[in-house]
Amino acid sequence: MEGPFKCIREENGKVTRIIRIGTRKSQLARIQTDSVAEQLKKLYPDLQLEIVAMSTVGDKILDTALSKIGEKSLFTKELENALERNEVDLVVHSLKDLPTSLPPGFTIGAVLQRENPHDAVVLHPKNAGLTLDALPENSVIGTSSLRRAAQLKKRFPQLEFENIRGNLNTRLKKLDEKDDYAAIILAAAGLKRMGWESRISQVLGPEDCMYAVGQGALAVEVRARDRDILKMVSILHHPDTVLRCISERAFLKQLEGGCSVPVAVYTEMKNSVLYLTGAVYSLDGADCLKDTMQTNIELDNMVHDSAEDRAHVGVTANNLSLKALDDAENLGVDLANLLLSKGAKDILTTARQLNDVR
């Protein structure tokens, strides 16, 4: 792990490298960042780590739906600015917050093993023991996601869906202390990482609600020129998760989608075959285009077969073969092109326009 680190300190006559890790200030972000720091510390016991927490645009604007703010980097821009100014050496994100095109000079140096990527139903205490199917007609469900709302409106037309903002703590407080919502929909991964798995009343399978691109996975973003940092964090890559998420990100990028349109995915790796299901929805869920494609992935030889680094939708994974990475990325592109050939662009364009006027 040779190379210049940005911060060096003398302790008892020896030089200690200090790695500064950028993160959002929320409790969940800190828990996620601490988990990455713990893994790095186990791998590199002599490393000194400092956590630098900061607020992002998405953390500050809490009275507007995410899809309305019009900023692609809601939860990442301030962190990337600090990375660019050399104030931090790496940044930990929820992968689903990272745009499919990163700013020049940045790359995702690690995608860690994915937690459960599915969405979960958290019920108001008065509805304990029920499921979405069993809730009274016209019950109000809180979600900040167009993707969730579009799918669930189609699946549960008897329910009403309204926006709810704030971090996990805030949204759970709004649910529990008021009667505005019968339930809210949250990522199962966040609830589990917070130690609140007991609040999960129902995990939504892909037949009810497919998940967001990259949901449940953590990403470590670094400066692409920092070879020593990139090499250090790359050991955290989880091959299965990397390949699944690259296919998902390629699908979203080819569709030119984001948080302002309902795009959903579901991926599986079985017997060296990567399966990708992707869908686009109208805002009310009435119009939907959905399909599945697959590709063989050579898992036996996962050694990187080139001296050159090449990012795949922002991910640099030197511990995987370029062929496997290319195959995963091409799968996402091919599925997106299939849906585009069937009219996905019209659905997404209409969804963007309707969202803008709401």
The reply to whether 142 and 102 lie within a common domain is no
Count up the domains in the chain and report the number.
2
pLDDT at 3 over 70: no
Token pair 């899809």 is at which residue?
Answer: 67
The reply to whether 219 and 103 lie within a common domain is yes
Residue 74 is predicted with a pLDDT of: 56
Domain boundary among 203, 232, 261: 203
DSSP string, 109-138: EEEPPPPP-SEEEEE-GGGTT--GGGSPTT
Asked whether the beta carbons of 181 and 122 are under 8 A apart, the reply is no
The reply to whether 44 and 131 lie within a common domain is no
Torsion angle, alpha carbons of 71, 326, 295, 155, to 10: 0
Any idea what the CATH number is for the domain that residue 352 is in? 3.30.160.40
Could you count the other beta carbons within 10 Å of the beta carbon of residue 42? 9
The reply to whether 22 and 98 lie within a common domain is yes
Asked whether the beta carbons of 23 and 59 are under 8 A apart, the reply is no
Query: Of 177, 99, 98, 182, which Cα lies nearest the Cα of 134?
Result: 182
Please tell me the distance from the alpha carbon of residue 205 to that of residue 280, in angstroms, as a whole number: 17
Q: What does each C-alpha distance from 280 to 20, 118, 189, 214, 335 come to in angstroms?
A: 39, 17, 23, 16, 11
Q: 98 vs 300, which has greater pLDDT?
A: 98
Torsion angle, alpha carbons of 280, 150, 242, 110, to 10: 120
Segments forming the whole domain that contains residue 136: 119-203
- Give the pair of three-digit tokens for residue 259: 């948080």
Partners of residue 290 on adjacent β-strands: 279
Domain boundary among 203, 237, 271: 203
Pairing of strands 14-24, 7-11: antiparallel
Widest distance between CA atoms in the chain: 70
Kindly state whether residue 17 falls inside one of the protein's structural domains.
yes
pLDDT at 117 over 50: yes
Q: What does each C-alpha distance from 293 to 114, 198, 290 come to in angstroms?
A: 21, 35, 10
Please tell me the distance from the alpha carbon of residue 150 to that of residue 291, in angstroms, as a whole number: 17
CB burial string 314-342: b at 16+ within 10 A, e below: bbbbbebbbebbebbbbbbbbbbeebbee
The reply to whether 140 and 110 lie within a common domain is no
- Give the pair of three-digit tokens for residue 291: 């399909």
Per residue in 214-259, pLDDT (tens digit) is 999 999 999 999 999 999 999 999 999 999 999 999 999 999 866 6
Average per-residue pLDDT for the chain: 88
Please tell me the distance from the alpha carbon of residue 355 to that of residue 283, in angstroms, as a whole number: 8
Give me the count of residues in the chain: 358
Residue 61 is predicted with a pLDDT of: 44
pLDDT at 10 over 60: no
Give residue 103's identity as a one-letter amino acid code.
P
Please tell me the distance from the alpha carbon of residue 104 to that of residue 113, in angstroms, as a whole number: 26
Kindly state whether residue 287 falls inside one of the protein's structural domains.
yes
The reply to whether 108 and 236 lie within a common domain is yes
Residue 20 is predicted with a pLDDT of: 96
Per residue in 177-218, pLDDT (tens digit) is 999 999 999 999 999 999 999 999 999 999 999 999 999 999
Any idea what the CATH number is for the domain that residue 129 is in? 3.40.190.10
DSSP 8-class letter at 179: S
Task: Categorize the per-residue pLDDT at 159 as very low, low, confident or very high, splitting at 50, 70 and 90.
Answer: very high
Q: Going by C-beta distance under 8 Å and a sequence separation of 6 or more, which residues neighbour residue 48?
A: 9, 16, 17, 18, 19
What residues act catalytically?
97
Domain boundary among 174, 203, 232: 203
Asked whether the beta carbons of 339 and 353 are under 8 A apart, the reply is no
DSSP 8-class letter at 211: B
pLDDT at 142 over 80: yes
DSSP 8-class letter at 86: T
pLDDT at 64 over 60: no
| 3 state DSSP class of 74 | coil
H/E stretch holding 280 reads: strand 273-281
Q: Going by C-beta distance under 8 Å and a sequence separation of 6 or more, which residues neighbour residue 148?
A: 119, 185, 209
